[in-house]
Structures are given as structure tokens and as C-alpha cells.
Amino acid sequence: MVAKRIIPCLDVKDGRTVKGINFLGLREVGDAVELGARYASQGADELVYLDISATVKGRKTFVGLVKAISERIDIPFTVGGGISSLEDAGRMLEAGADKITVNSAALRNPSLVDEIASHFGSQFVVVAIDARKSGDRWMAMSGGGRFATGRELFIWASEVQERGAGEILFTSMDHDGTRQGYPCDVFSELNSLLRIPVIASGGAGSAEDIAAVLSEGKADAALAASIFHYGEITIPELKHFLVSKGIKVRI
């Protein structure tokens, strides 16, 4: 059995880590490099940094931040936000990132996934999907959740898998930041559909929530932010809890 991964997520705006609820109401929670180094030392398996800056200046700051992260952190980390070309992806790799994540740009131009995967390898490409429930379907959103795309979650996830994505990072917008648990049934269905790993995001409020999405939801990894940023549980505490539930993780 492959060990499940615990992945703290850091949303970054102009070099600082922020967190909101349902993608809104952002507030600062700390320095991005220092927080990442702390999580790495505590036993995080990977880190995800998402640049949510709205300005060109913010994007340039983020590239410098990725370099600073790579100098301090000795675990794999993924970066995303505003990556819309092969050149953007290459800059992040050169700055020290292990993987990149694409979301809105891939929805606009699906061949971007093929292009990056063929150039750098599938293991370098994580496709992030932000989706919310509409009727009885889960629909992908773009632009930080502002715009409907008309693409259904399961169909889109299958397409990007075939285009060369190495992993899927699915965030339930309905659950993000609410700390009321993940939609485990959706993650279980995704896992059954896909051959590539699925990272669960959006809704972690407790160790029990994470245990549920890794077991019932069959997710390969759990991504969380608030419970780590606000010190509600440490990574070692979480991992020992998961082991007590029979879930294999790296201690």
C-alpha cells in the first residue's frame, strides 16, 4: 500500500500567506517561507504554494519567493497561480519548484497540459480543478472560482489525465475554508475513474475529516490550510492519528 501524503497549502498574495472562506474574505496568516520551512520540519510530505496575486508585480514577487523556498525546504513543493504558458512553467522549474499546477489556463487552452507534460514530463504537471455543485453535477470554475466554464468535473478530469497530467488537485468550492469536511463521495468517484493520484482539497476542519477523505474518499493525498495555519493540529499529531485509524503515512 502506497503511503498517503499530507500536504499543507499556502495561498500567497504579494509574498505573504493568506486564507479565506469559499475563496473570499482573505486574511494574512504569516510569512510564506517561514511557514513552509516549519511544515517541512514537522514532517509534511509535500507543500503547495498558490500565487493569488492579481498584479504583474505580485507575480514577479512570487518567482523570487519560489527561489527562497527552494533554498530553505528539502521536500517536494508544487507552485501554481498565473501559469499560462510553457515559458511560465519553465521559470518555476528553474526557480526550484518540483511541480507546477495549472487551472484556469488549462480550461482556456487544454493543449497547454499536453505541451507542458511532453516537455517536462507528466510528473511535473498537476491540474487543479475548482468545482462547485450545480444541481446534481459538479462543474469546474475558473478565475479563482469567479467564472463558470461549462465543463463537468469528471469529464474534465478524465480529459486532462489523457492529455498527460500527473495528478489532479480537486478543490470543492462549496467546502473550501468551511472546515466542515470534504465531499468524500465525490473523491471516491474520482479515484475510481482515474489512474493518476487525486489530491483532496477544501474543507478540512479536523483530523477526522482528513482520515475520512483518505479512507472513505480514497484520496491519495490530503491538502489542508486552516487547521495547520491556526495551530489547531500539528502534522505529527495528525499523522499519528491517521496511523491509529489504520491509514498508512510516512512518520
Domain ranges of the chain: 5-244
DSSP H helical ranges for the chain: 32-42, 56-72, 86-95, 104-108, 111-120, 153-163, 184-193, 207-215, 226-229, 235-244
Residue 56 one-letter amino acid: V
List active site positions: 11, 130
Q: Could you give the percent of the chain with pLDDT greater than 90?
A: 70
Confidence of residue 23 (pLDDT cuts 50, 70, 90): very low
What pLDDT was estimated at residue 231? 85
Size of the chain, expressed as the number of residues it contains:
251
Picking from 53, 88, 93, 55, the residue whose alpha carbon sits closest to that of residue 77 is 93
- Joined together, the cell numbers standing for residue 136 give 446534481
Q: Report how far residue 232's alpha carbon sits from residue 229's, in angstroms, rounded to the nearest whole number.
A: 8
What pLDDT was estimated at residue 57? Answer: 66
Specify the pTM.
0.91
Least confident of 27-36, 127-136, 216-225, 235-244: 27-36
Give the model confidence (pLDDT) of 189-204 as tens digits.
999 999 999 999 988 8
pLDDT band at 227 (very low <50, low <70, confident <90, very high): confident
Write down the pLDDT at residue 21: 47
Which pLDDT band, with edges at 50, 70 and 90, does 29 fall under?
A: low
> What's the confidence (pLDDT) of residue 225?
84
- Residue 179 is predicted with a pLDDT of 76
What pLDDT score does 56 carry?
67
Q: How many CB atoms lie under 10 A from the CB of residue 150?
A: 8
pLDDT digits (tens, 9 = 90+) for 99-111: 999 999 999 999 9
User: What tens digit of pLDDT does each residue of 64-115 get?
Assistant: 999 999 999 999 999 998 899 999 999 999 999 999 999 999 999 999 999 9
Q: How high is the pLDDT of residue 37?
A: 95
Given this model, what pLDDT does residue 22 score?
A: 45
**pLDDT higher than 80, residue 58:** no
pLDDT at 137 over 80: yes
For the domain covering 5-244, report its CATH number.
Answer: 3.20.20.70
pLDDT at 163 over 90: yes
User: At which residue does the C-alpha cell 490530503 appear?
Assistant: 222
212 compared with 27, residue with greater pLDDT: 212
* pLDDT for residue 20: 52
